Amino acid sequence: MSEPAPRSVDPQGLLRQQVRWRLLETVFWLAVLIPFFATPTYLVLCSQIAIAALFALSLDLIVGYSGLVSLGHAVFFGFGAYTAGLLSAKLGWNEPITGLLAAGFASMLLGLLTSIIVVRISHFALIMVTLGLCLLMFELANQAHDLTGGDDGLQGISISPVLGYFNFDLYGYTAFGYSLAVLFICFLIIRRVINSPFGLSLRGIRENPRRMPAIGSPMRGRLRTVYVMSATFAGIAGGLLAQTTEFVALDALSFQRSAEVLVMLVLGGAGRLYGGLVGAIIFMVARDQLAGLNPQYWYFWLGLLLVLVIIFLPNGILGGIAHLVSRVRAKK
Amino acid sequence: MTDAPVLVTQGLDKSFGSLVVASDISLSLPKGARYALIGPNGAGKTTLINLITGMLTPDAGRIVLGGEDVTEIGPADRVKRGLVRTFQINTLFPNLTPLEAVMLAVCERRGEAGTWWRSLPSYGAAAEEAYGILQTLRLAEFCDRPTRQLAYGQQRLLEIALGLAAKPKVLLLDEPAAGVPKSESGELFEAVAGISSEITILFIEHDMDVVFRFASRIIVMVAGRILVEGTPAEIATHPEVREVYLGAHHG
Amino acid sequence: MLLFVLSVGLSVTLGMMNFVNLAHGAFAMIGGYVTVTLMKQAGWPFFATLPVAFLGAAVAAVVLERVLYRRLYRATDLDQSLLTIGIVFMSIAIAAYIFGTTQQPVELPSYLRGRLVVGDFSFGVYRLFLVASALVITALLVVGLDYTRFGAQVRACVDNQRMARGLGLNVDMVFAVTFALGSGLAGLGGAMAIEVVGLDPNFGLKYLVFMLIVVAVGGLASIRGAFFTAAMLGIIDIFSKYYVPQVGSFIIYLVMVGLLVWRPAGLFARAR
């Protein structure tokens, strides 16, 4: 049955359409440079946002693209933070870039270990195990206060200039530039992963895990790989935190932080590449403004935000926008 | 002409507590066969497919594919060896397009689905192959829309496309036309009829017209056992079959 | 054993409807604050406040279920988790606003205070009261489930929802009532817990983890599982405080992770 059908569609072209770099993306990445010129007093906050964005992006790999749930992703963030912090504070290794790579590597190993457990379970047990691992690490860090400083946090971190030249200044120029550069590089890598056949198989797992073995896919192996990737990037984000603030608090490993990054991701829209970034920006800016007004009520607004987003915008802000756009297009 | 059988099961048993869903199932499919598996609801037909593909573990018995014992091998590895099934209820990827879905299956088969450092469009051969499969099933014009937007009949065709993408040696079709109205099922069965004669097919079906038209041999299952096996002519006149299945089958 | 009372409702709810309700702890907190308010403002005796604590939490549960939870029965685990976490956060803030962030003390009636000496052993009277109540509640639950018509309906819905619906059972109503009962029990547990662990706005979150552990490790919808796990947790807690005080909750988390990896459906999981 091989009748050459008239070809008006080029399948490769269709695929290229989906993965090509869009103008809006260029606009976004140029726009994030604005704070350097427009709001130099907020650069410290901006570097925090960049770090949160990377953290959210790492979570998106497993939550948005693979369909897993993790209530304890901060375990990798905190592990990376403490690794980078300890390298400097205890071992006197102050070079930032290698320190960051070490943080990522350490989290990668932790991810490797935990992935073996995590990919075997699903549903409620998965929620509990990811939560449990995070709480476990938190307790460990809490107890080991000789090493980690416990409740007081890890101090004595002092980071050398980036590339030997960019000193970490008080205003945060270097911190923001450094964080932004790392975010961008990691973003490019993650973008490639998502647009690869591997990324497609992740989405397959998310869409229908039952079908995957039926097309010959080694689901567990794929999930282990993406879990390790996700842990690595979360660890790098944590390392950035340690290096740019020269301090690591216990809360880097806390459930609160795991919940927060989940909120950021869902707010922006999981499974949409830029969802974590957008969510991080909105969340951190909102928190900075609202918590300044009245810290107690922050929990209320946070809770309300969560409830409203889940009910009315289940695909996050980017999802809501995409929906609007497609409805407008359908009308034309 | 005696070719070695492509798929053989020997004495497959499966029970859930006191419920026996499969009892001493032994069958043998030669290459290029077009066998139909029929039986009343609850006879255990889908269960048998689950057992053969490895989604269920048998309590006893063996499954031999192309001369190789695959009883201990997992479902994904059986697919890699050419044992493929489709699902009675659409088990598709709602938010992927048909092109993406079939391409995923093709990449998995080609061992390319694990690479994360190369972009999807650069896999031209896989894309062409996926598109080709969609073309043969007349799904090409919808290849770019999310699966959940496809009509039900088109989704059933996509089920088959995913099966074909794995380049099966043995294809197990679980009620390929389930839920498709008679007026539309013709196109679907044309597609099934057009499948290469190199591929061995076992299909579950309730519509007797289709069964008698496409099957070279019919296996009748009742309550977990194989009642009888034979050519369409034999089965049509078999007294027990008429009583148990055709007779009790009121429209 | 407090943990059992607090967790059993969550276990049944999760097992029956597959709805991840992380706000369960908030219902406990509601019960606690009801008791405190009634005792302080209205001068009610302790025992009288308990049924009201139960009812208060149950009513809150019904309202929440009608307004919010219904919409998400088919949603993903993630969405359900986040929605209910959002509710917990809101309840923490509301409680802080109304009651302040300090611990709320409660005065027990004199016959529940002090210790009871039997031979060589001395038991806190209140602890005995807790154990006794837990046993009574367990008995009521078991009898209710096994011998009443409603109990049979509950069991049917847990075992096979689709078939139950097909048989004409009003599954939604069964679930709503069960959910109210389970949350009411949480409220009761919260009220009884004040004396043991104190009450502050963070109650819902602090003890949520342990409730979840009881449910996960015990097995969904398993009363035996919840009972056993709650007891086990209590024992581990006492022992670790005695022998290895610096380790804290670490052991509990480690054991939980280990047990769940070994038996993801819980120790007393129902065979499906």
Question: Please, what sign has the CA dihedral across residues C76, C80, C86, C92?
Answer: negative
3-state DSSP call for residue B229? strand
Does residue B196 sit within a domain?
A: yes
Strand partners, B65: B7, B68
User: Angle A255-268/A43-63 helices, nearest 10 degrees?
Assistant: 80
CA pair distance A77, A70, nearest whole angstrom: 13
pLDDT at C199: 79
pLDDT at C112: 66
Does residue B46 sit within a domain?
A: yes
Note the helical H segments in A158-272: 173-194, 197-207, 211-214, 219-245, 255-268
Read off the pTM: 0.89
Does residue B251 sit within a domain?
A: no
Amino acid at B150: L
Is B8:B63 a contact under the CB 8 Å cutoff? yes
Q: What is the pLDDT of residues C37-70, one digit of tens each?
A: 887 777 777 777 788 888 888 888 888 888 888 8
Neighbours of B156 (CB within 10 A): 28
Is C219:C265 a contact under the CB 8 Å cutoff? yes
Measure CB to CB from residue A121 to each of C89, C213, C260 and give the nearest one.
Answer: C260
Length of chain C: 272
**A213 near B CB under 8 A:** yes
Domain housing B179: 7-246
* φ, ψ of residue A143 in degrees (nearest 5): -70, -35
Nearest to B140 by CA among B148, B178, C184, B150: B150
Instruction: Give 10-residue mean pLDDT values along chain A (332 residues).
Output: 58 88 91 87 91 96 92 94 91 89 96 91 87 90 83 83 79 88 96 95 94 93 95 96 91 90 93 93 89 74 88 90 88 74
Token code pair at residue C87: 């509710």
Amino acid at B115: T
CA pair distance A270, C226, nearest whole angstrom: 34
Tell me which H or E stretch contains B172: strand B170-174
Is A266:C85 a contact under the CB 8 Å cutoff? no
pLDDT at B244: 74
Q: Which of A124, A255, A287, A312 to mutate to test the interface with C (most CBs of C within 10 A)?
A: A124
**A330 near B CB under 8 A:** no
Half-sphere exposure of B134 (CA within 13 A, CB side): 29
Token code pair at residue C78: 């993630």
Does residue B2 sit within a domain?
A: no
Neighbours of B184 (CB within 10 A): 14
User: Angle A43-63/A173-194 helices, nearest 10 degrees?
Assistant: 20
Burial class (CB in 10 A: 0-12, 13-18, 19+), C162: exposed
Token code pair at residue A301: 């607004």
Window B:11-30, CB contacts with A under 8 Å: none
- How many distinct structural domains can be found in chain B? 1
User: What mean pLDDT is predicted for residues C234-245?
Assistant: 70
Nearest to A58 by CA among A231, A255, A224, A268: A231
Instruction: Tell me which chain C residue has its CA closest to the CA of residue A307.
Output: C83
Tell me which H or E stretch contains A162: none
Half-sphere exposure of A252 (CA within 13 A, CB side): 36
Cβ–Cβ pairs < 8 A, chains A and C: 119
Indicate if the pLDDT at residue C22 is higher than 80.
yes
Burial class (CB in 10 A: 0-12, 13-18, 19+), B205: buried
pLDDT at B250: 47
The segments of chain B whose pLDDT lies below 70 read 1-3, 245-251
User: What mean pLDDT is predicted for residues C148-165?
Assistant: 75
User: What mean pLDDT is predicted for residues C20-34?
Assistant: 86
Contact B162 A211 (CB under 8 A): yes
In order of their start, the domains of chain A are: 25-331 (1.10.3470)
Q: What is the pLDDT of residues C113-148, one digit of tens each?
A: 666 666 666 667 777 777 787 788 888 887 877 778
User: CA angle, corner C101, sides to C100 and C102, nearest 5?
Assistant: 100
pLDDT at C179: 86
Contact A139 C248 (CB under 8 A): yes
**In Å, what is the CA distance from A215 to each residue of B52, B134, B197, C90?**
15, 16, 21, 45
Question: Please, what sign has the CA dihedral across residues C163, C167, C173, C179?
Answer: negative
CA distance A275 to chain B (A): 17
Note the helical H segments in A94-122: 96-118
Q: Which of B92, B102, B120, B139 to mutate to test the interface with A (most CBs of A within 10 A)?
A: B120
* φ, ψ of residue A156 in degrees (nearest 5): 85, 20
3-state DSSP call for residue B21? strand
pLDDT at C190: 84
3-state DSSP call for residue A241? helix
Nearest to C188 by CA among C87, C23, C22, C49: C49
Nearest to A252 by CA among A42, A85, A88, A47: A85
Q: A-chain residues within 8 Å CB-CB of C247?
A: 143
CATH of the domain at B90: 3.40.50.300
pLDDT at B251: 43
User: CA angle, corner C154, sides to C151 and C159, nearest 5?
Assistant: 125
User: CA angle, corner A114, sides to A109 and A117, nearest 5?
Assistant: 145
ipTM of the complex: 0.89
pLDDT at B204: 92
